[in-house]
């Protein structure tokens, strides 16, 4: 069974030829070793993300010293956005089209409409 976010990722347009979206189980660092990756890329939305990401990077480094972790900061435009906030907005009928790709808007709208119809 494919997780929905994997399908979302596959629908996005990547400008990097060597980027692919794959689903796996287990630790990311173990998956990185399996596929021969040398770098794990993580995103930072806010300063509060840094501590957790640093701890994760250090743990990964202890398990796989030859794999580096690179953290990229997001655009200021999206720094306050989390999937929880997006879902909350959709659940209450708000517009998130300026925050997520069109296929995500459609999927979330359908999901919350189905939940609403069941109640």
Topology of the domain comprising 16-78: Rossmann fold (3.40.50)
d(CA 99, CA 35): 32
Q: Is the pLDDT of residue 6 over 70?
A: no
Q: How many CB atoms lie within 10 A of CB 117?
A: 7
3-state secondary structure 85-97: HHHHHHHCCCCCC
Cα gap 7→107, rounded to integer Å: 11
Average pLDDT, integer, range 85-114: 88
Residue 31 CB-density burial (10 A; 0-12 exposed, 13-18 middle, 19+ buried): middle
Return the pLDDT at 114: 77
Confidence of residue 2 (pLDDT cuts 50, 70, 90): low
Residue-averaged pLDDT of the chain = 84
d(CA 16, CA 23): 18
Query: Where are the CATH 3.40.50.620 domain residues in the chain?
Result: 16-78
- Residue 56 CA to chain centroid, in angstroms? 16
Q: In the predicted model, is pLDDT for residue 50 greater than 60? A: yes
**Between residues 22 and 33, the one the model is more confident about:** 33
Q: Flag whether pLDDT at 107 surpasses 60.
A: yes
Average pLDDT rounded to a whole number, residues 24-48: 91
């Amino acid at each position: 069974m494919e997780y929905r976010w994997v399908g979302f990722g596959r629908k996005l347009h990547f400008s990097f030829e060597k980027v692919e979206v794959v689903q796996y189980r287990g630790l990311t660092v173990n998956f990185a070793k399996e596929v021969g990756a040398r770098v794990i890329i993580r995103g930072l939305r806010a300063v509060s993300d840094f501590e957790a990401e640093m701890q994760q990077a250090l743990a990964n480094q202890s398990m796989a010293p030859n794999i580096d972790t690179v953290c990229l900061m997001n655009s200021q435009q999206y720094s306050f956005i989390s999937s929880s906030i997006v879902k909350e907005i959709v659940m209450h009928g708000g517009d998130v089209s300026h925050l997520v790709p069109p296929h995500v808007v459609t999927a979330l709208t359908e999901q919350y409409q189905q939940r609403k119809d069941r109640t």
